[in-house]
Amino acid sequence: MLPFRRLEISKWADAVERTSIEAPPIFIIGTWRTGTTHLHNLMSQDGQFGFVSTLQAFCPDICIEGSRLLQPIFRRLLPKKRPMDNMAMALEYPQEEEYAMGNLSPYSFYHGYFLPRRMPALFDLLSFDGGNGDVANVWKPLYLRVLKKATLIMNGRRLVLKNPLNTSRIPVLLEMFPGAQFLFFYRNPYVIFPSLRNTFSRLIGAYQLQAVSEARIEDYVFSFYDKMMHAYWRAKELIPAGQLMEVRFEDFEKGPLKVMEGIYGELRLPGFDGAKGRFERYLASQAGYEKNHYEVSRQTLDRISRDWQFAIERLGYSPPDDNIVKIASS
């Protein structure tokens, strides 16, 4: 891969640097497992928007020059579905730019899948919620380079970006892009917990270079959700009027087109009627999608009620129907 990387950098580095991000990005935020991937995939059906592709996220330095020759290899290696759920994967699909940052630098939370004992420190270091100005100042030009390259690849289209970690980076993102808009997705915490526990457990299990217990992974889930939600509520007041919309996942699940029309209206985005047909076709293609189903112990359910009471009450949730999250018999 090194020859392709050297060729791409030598041939495209100046063009990437000269690329201007004319329209500030739209950031899809919210904790993991809130349905943000589904929204990201849906919005990407509108041809006015660009995104960081899966190819760029996983191969950020060979996604232009080497893509034509290497894509057949990558397609064979890439799983058809994500390891933690049934969402389809493909090189041309949208992907979290956090993976591109991890493939370019040490400044990505997802290095924690390899070094899970370092996950809390990585989260705190890269959330920027508590300061970490020196790290943020190194992170910002690297992040900007990823977005410039995506803009170049997408022929200048406005970027729609989905990255749960950005939920804790709102002040920094507004500093970089004062006109940025935000879509905050939220979901029943009782559903998020087992889903996120499953995600972390499977991905850590696949990549870990350090042993970590399931109990510790559960603690991570409780801690990260707490910190991300509080970070969002502290920072949301910084977002100017007209640049933020909050979306309840359950509303989106029941009526995705209605919610999409609301998003376009609230954020004053043009072109909903023109994109509606593409949205409908994509939604039809997902009609057979099967959710994961989870089981939690009564002890865990009680801990969710206790530790996440602040969010459960503020968001207006209660324990979900038994066909989604079942209580273990023992």
- Which residue bears the tokens 């064979």? 76
Mean pLDDT of 89-109: 91
Percent of the chain scoring above 70 in pLDDT: 87
Domain spans, the chain: 2-293
Tell me the pLDDT band of 7, cut-offs 50, 70 and 90.
Answer: confident
Interval 302-324 mean pLDDT: 89
* DSSP of 77-111: HS-SB-TTSS-B--TTSB--HHHHHHHHSS--GGG
Asked if residues 160 and 28 have their Cβ atoms less than 8 Å apart, the reply is yes
pLDDT confidence band for 303 (50 / 70 / 90) = very high
CATH 3.40.47.10 assigned to domain 2-293? The reply is no
Please tell me the predicted confidence (pLDDT) of residue 329: 41
Contact 184, 30 (CB under 8 A): yes
Token pair 């801690």: residue: 223
pLDDT at 330: 35
Average pLDDT over residues 163-168: 96
User: pLDDT per residue over 181-226, tens digit each?
Assistant: 999 999 999 999 999 999 999 999 999 999 999 999 999 999 999 9
Q: What is the mean pLDDT of the chain?
A: 90
Q: How far apart are CA 205 and CA 126, in angstroms?
A: 23
Q: Residue 328 pLDDT > 60, yes or no?
A: no
Q: What is the pLDDT of residues 22-52, one digit of tens each?
A: 999 999 999 999 999 999 999 999 999 999 9
DSSP state of 296: E
What residue type is 28 in one-letter code?
Answer: I
Q: What is the pTM of this model?
A: 0.91
pLDDT at 61: 86
Paired tokens of 295: 């089981």
The predicted pLDDT at position 12 comes to: 86
Q: Number of helices and strands (H, E) in the chain?
A: 15, 7
